[in-house]
Amino acid sequence: MTKTVAYHWHLRKVMNEHGMQVTTDLVPLLADRGVVMTSTQVYRIVVGQPGRLNMQFLAALCDIFGCTPADLIEPYVESASRRGRKTGTAGAVKPPTGGSKNRPTRAVITPADE
């Protein structure tokens, strides 16, 4: 069994708790702290779950909302079963050897000179 670490991103919730409903309101607050981002970039980070996070951006968010990184990021462990490597033939259904009424017989092409 392998463990995978994942996280919940709570920026939208923290924004709502501080009365900030529109993501574009965050752009000038970030710019005041030296983090220049477009409104589209901020929207994607607020609505989505970022795969990478700039530490200056995280520090600016903590300063804006008076919170800690733990308020924005909630890590958790997902457990996944550890199975063998899957191949294309592992789960293939073998055709019956006696022939089937539902499946046609495979044609065999032979050269004309035989």
Residue 101 lies in a domain: no
Residue 19 lies in a domain: yes
Other residues' Cβ atoms within 10 Å of the Cβ of residue 30 = 19
Q: Which residues contact 39 (CB under 8 A, 6 or more apart)?
A: 23, 24, 27
Per-residue pLDDT reduced to its tens digit, 3-19: 889 999 999 999 999 99
Residue 61 lies in a domain: yes
Residue 97 lies in a domain: no
pLDDT at 8 (0 to 100): 93
Residue 10 lies in a domain: yes
How many domains does one find in the chain? 1
Q: What is the pTM of this model?
A: 0.66
CATH of the domain at 57: 1.10.260
Residue 100 lies in a domain: no
Residue span of the structural domain in which 12 resides: 5-77
Residue 18 lies in a domain: yes
